[in-house]
Chains A and B, each alone.
Chain A
């Protein structure tokens, strides 16, 4: 199979994720879409690792997973606090700050 296809898949996942952020209302789902984008980047790293024939890309992928886990911790903390105050996880409800 052509290795470029993995890159296409990665780009597709990235696009789906970035569109999802715009379209979805629930903040958890928005956050999952961002995770999807990170994983798309991971896929690209691993693919390039394969193309370049060295392991650096795979190392990056591991780092990304760790960082993504940290992000989940912080992100969920913020989302849960907001949910507790507002009884809603919709990102559109959190729009008091404008103009």
Chain B
């Protein structure tokens, strides 16, 4: 007897709104006047995100496993993560809407006359807005997906637009295109691993639903080797997205090559989405066999923290440096996965939010430091920035201190929460390495601060662009959030504590 599948549209509405905005954006590309498109597209995207945030607020205390016939789970943690992704998306959108960084016509060959013409005409690739909306919708779906199909589809829906966005930089186009190619090939490679792992999990449980896989895993029937193969291959796909070592190699190249505002979005939002999925899978599905995967995840967390922190020191490009720092941070958050308890989850949620906001702010500031050829990311040219613009350099220094986890910054509270949660559950080795590598990390952040404030400036060619109102809002809001959450962390800690619930 067939029953009509039932959907709880209210619970799905945040995602549906963003997806609808993406589709409408594509239609607008096709039918509307190109001159008005930038404004229209921005309006559609911002409007959709605001609407979705309102919906998130309305459903903030609901939870359901049957919102879409078992394919998605809406619970407290999901709602929190989706809200975070939307807020990050909104602020990133404000940065991205400064068209300055994007190529005028992506299909034109770099250096060709066609390119010069389109640049001088002031054309704009407004497709970035629908692409961004698709990515956002995919990320939101990724955090709540509760079957293998939805997980895989969501993974691709948020990855494919990002591959394209990475290749749209106006300056240094070859590098940007190369970043897109690398991101795409390696991303596709990792999703193949993910899918292969999914096949084995399906194999042992006979179901694509995470709930059934979880009970199959804890029941111990099926084939243990298959469980482990499934576990490993699925983890590879996820660890790639959070750029854990040794699946990190794309990160510095892509972060450097992509337009900076896109990098800001990728660094902040992808991490939230991917960790959302990782936390769900490890907390919900694999927690019964924690003893088997804890050692390897511990090792990966340790290597990631240490490697990220150590190599960051060697970087001479500020975007690459932040890329390695994001690798190190992935290691810190992985530590929370090991905790496998409510305080670990709460700590991870807190860390993801604060890290996401600070990262947006840091990349936002990078977009302002320019010379005649565009953004200046060579660290040596940043020498003496503190004298040129104490406010900008001071804000950047503060963000770096937050990344380093110096007390009175949100980064410190986040690290403290994560390490104490992991410590409570006996992951002492990881905590020790975590503390050591955050000390190591403090080293390279402070080096940049010294460079900005102490070192003599070698050339005067760099200037600080006057940010547009949109960038100013984005950078100001994220920096202010970092300051406020450092001084008053309990504002957010209370929220993350009440929202750290996964249901099966």
Give the interface of A toward B (CB within 8 A).
10, 14, 17-18, 21, 27, 30-31, 34, 37-38, 40-41, 44-45, 47-49, 51-54, 56-57, 59-60, 63-64, 67, 70-71, 74-75, 77-79, 81-82, 84-86, 91, 94-98
Docked complex Cα distance between A42 and B196 (Å): 8
Docked complex Cα distance between A47 and B203 (Å): 8
A86 touches B192 (CB 8 A): no
Docked complex Cα distance between A52 and B206 (Å): 5
Q: Which of B110, B148, B184 has the most CB of A within 10 A?
A: B184
Nearest chain B CB to A27's CB is how many angstroms away?
Answer: 7
Bitwise, B150-186 to A at CB < 8 A (1) or not (0) is 0011001000100110010000011101111110110
Known A27-B185, A74-B164, A97-B256; judge A44-B196 contact (CB<8 A).
yes
Give the interface of B toward A (CB within 8 A).
106-107, 109-110, 148-149, 152-153, 156, 160, 163-164, 167, 173-175, 177-182, 184-185, 188-189, 191-193, 195-196, 198-200, 202-203, 206-208, 252-253, 256-257
> Nearest residue in A to B196 (C-beta to C-beta)?
A41
A82 touches B185 (CB 8 A): no
Q: Which of B148, B178, B182, B252 has the most CB of A within 10 A?
A: B178
Chain B residues with CB under 8 A of A81: 106-107, 167, 177, 180
> Could you pull out 19 A-B pairs where Cβ atoms are within 8 angstroms?
A27-B181, A37-B189, A38-B195, A41-B195, A45-B202, A47-B203, A51-B203, A52-B202, A56-B206, A57-B208, A60-B152, A63-B149, A64-B195, A74-B160, A79-B181, A81-B167, A82-B181, A85-B110, A94-B182
Docked complex Cα distance between A75 and B206 (Å): 32
> Nearest residue in B to A38 (C-beta to C-beta)?
B192
Known A37-B189, A59-B149; judge A78-B180 contact (CB<8 A).
yes
Docked complex Cα distance between A63 and B199 (Å): 13
Docked complex Cα distance between A56 and B199 (Å): 11
Nearest chain A CB to B294's CB is how many angstroms away?
Answer: 26
A97 touches B177 (CB 8 A): no
A74 touches B206 (CB 8 A): no
Nearest chain A CB to B41's CB is how many angstroms away?
Answer: 20
Nearest chain A CB to B310's CB is how many angstroms away?
Answer: 14
Docked complex Cα distance between A22 and B198 (Å): 23
B178 touches A96 (CB 8 A): yes
Docked complex Cα distance between A91 and B185 (Å): 10
